[in-house]
Structure 1
Amino acid sequence: MVNWFWRRRPPARILKLRARGDLGDAMRVDFAELAPDVATFLGQAAYLQLGYFETLSRLIRATPDLAEKEALSLAAGRALRKHRQIVALIAERVGDPTEVMLPFREQLDAFRRATIGARPRETMLSVHITAGMLDDFYLALASSYGSTGRRVSEILGQAADREQIERLLRATIDSDDEMRSLLSMWARRLVGDTLLVARAALTPARLGLDDEKKVEPVFTALMAAHARRMDALGLAA
């Protein structure tokens, strides 16, 4: 696995994952020294949002259908707003946003390129799945960073405006058996790549058995949320 993050050892923290729209008790997992420092957390969170915007913008240019352009533009606009809000937070509390994001550009660009499909619907599904899973993961990490984390939770907790993309995907899946099979296989590949990104956000690069036991409930919850997204699309997780 590629080592994507500086090896700093932050103070003990709590990682909390809450399902979208669920205001009940959130699962809490003590990650101690496994969470990254705040600059790493903010830098990657900001650059991920920029990547979603870039991928969606590419789709807007590629599609001739006006309704699809509108659906994509809504989601792209929301991703860009979230990026700018996190960038403003970096400037306020950490330092120069470009310097904070720069260490993650190469690796996250590679991840984004690897999850761009050969067809527009595959790339739409890529954004829907990867952004959903990683937003959930960074919402979980946010509880580790006090007031800064609470602000990130507010930003990432905003509506993603991907509902119209979900409807486009669902219409394709319902009407085209071949595309349903292709998208189902593509989704399974995306999950592995996305979990690697989430796993690489934790320190150290290799976890001991006790640490693996700590992180397992969070990744189990991520997969449960992913399964719900897949069910909503009419695909098996």
Structure 2
Amino acid sequence: MSEDAPTRADGDRDLFDPNYRAAVVDLLGALAYSELRAFAQLAKDSELAPTLGHTSALAILAAHELRNFKLLTDRLRALEVDSEEAMQPFVEAVDAFHARTTSSNWLEGLVKAYVGEGIAQDFYREIANYVDPDTKSLVLAVLEDQGQADFAVAAVRQAIEEDGRVAGRLALWGRRLVGEAITQAQRVGVERDALGSLLVGAPGSGGADLAELGRMFVRLTDAHTKRMERLGLSA
């Protein structure tokens, strides 16, 4: 076994339990593919940036996503799991989200990166409440804001200040994003039994009951509303 492989000291959730181990692999695989797609999207959006400064800022943010991707694949490797195999089950759901939310301009891309990706990240943070401390620490570190929020908020607010008509169009876009992002989160959480077991529990393990799952999606929606308000948009 790898030198970095987990031991029983990793926490109260046992990575030697095959069901729990499969759930952690699913979580890391889903998050790794999300980070990989986020990197590709930011790199693509940088081509639409109106200034060199904006292009540079997006390139830096894309580099953070790539770093996060490597952290996750390194962890999968420590678990002696092939990262491509771990990501594959989530390709369809994540790709479908991006296909249905292709931005048509620079500002839509920023709102998608902040609002759409934000909902997905909140979902992974919720799941992180049900994993061992080491896995939770990694997930939260990967999801830590590296300046994406401040950059998006400043750029969108400036655009609204320059042309108030922008606000209405971006608000409609944000409403579309929330529906698509929650659909993606539901697909990721439901279509894989192992990952779903982290949320709803399995015999002999903790998890959320149906009422808590309902509250979780309320929290996701509330966080979305706050992001929209920060952008200066109506949710």
TM above 0.5, yes or no, is yes
Match of 2:57 in 1: 71
Aligned runs of 1:26-105 on 2, under 5 Å? 37-105=23-91
For 2:217, give the aligned amino acid. Answer: F
Q: Say if 2:93 and 2:187, in contact at 8 Å, map to a contact too.
A: no
What does 1:156-171 correspond to in 2, within 5 Å? 156-171=143-158
User: By percentage of residues, which structure has more strand?
Assistant: 1
Provide the rounded CA distance (Å) in 2 between the counterparts of 1:177 and 1:41: 41
Matched to 2:89, the amino acid is P
Q: Aligned pair 1:189/2:176, yes or no?
A: yes
Paired residue for 2:119, among 119, 127, 133? 133
Report which structure shows greater RCO (CA 8 Å, sep ≥6): 1
In the other structure, the counterpart of 2:223 is 225
Calculate the aligned-residue CA RMSD, in Å. Answer: 2.6
User: Whose Rg is larger?
Assistant: 2
**Equivalent residue, structure 2, for 1:143:** 129
Q: Quote the Cα distance in structure 1 between the aligned partners of 2:117 and 2:191.
A: 24
Q: Residues 59 and 203 (structure 1 numbering): CA distance in 2 closer, same or farther, change over 3 Å?
A: closer
TM-score, reference length from structure 2:
0.78
The structural deviation recorded for 1:93 is 1.8
Q: Structure 2 CA distance, aligned partners of 1:83 and 1:160?
A: 17
Larger proportion of helix: 2
Q: Given the two structures, how large is their TM-score scaled by the length of structure 1?
A: 0.77
Equivalent position SS for 1:49: helix
* Aligned sequence identity (%): 28
Aligned residue for 2:190, secondary structure, equals coil
Q: Which runs of 5+ in 2 are unaligned?
A: 1-12, 14-18, 201-207
Q: Distance in 2 between matches of 1:236 and 1:64?
A: 25
Q: Which runs of 5+ in 1 are unaligned?
A: 1-12, 14-32
Rounded Cα–Cα distance in structure 2 between residues aligned with 1:103 and 1:155:
20
Equivalent residue, structure 1, for 2:4: none
Dislocated runs of 4+, deviation >3 Å: none
What's the secondary structure of 1:173's corresponding residue?
helix
Aligned-pair CA distance for 1:160: 4.8
For residue 107 of structure 1, the aligned residue among 79, 88, 93 is 93
Q: Report the AA paired with residue 113 of structure 2.
A: V
* Range with bigger deviation, 120-129 or 186-195: 120-129
Quick one: which amino acid aligns to residue 104 of structure 1? F
Q: Write the distance in 1 (CA, Å) between the matches of 2:178 and 2:122.
A: 13
Superposed CA deviations along residues 76-130 of structure 1, whole A, max 9, x for unmatched, are: 1221111111111111125011111122223312211222211221111111112
2:47 is paired with a residue whose SS is helix
Distance 1:226 1:118, change over 3 A: same
Distance 1:94 1:188, change over 3 A: farther
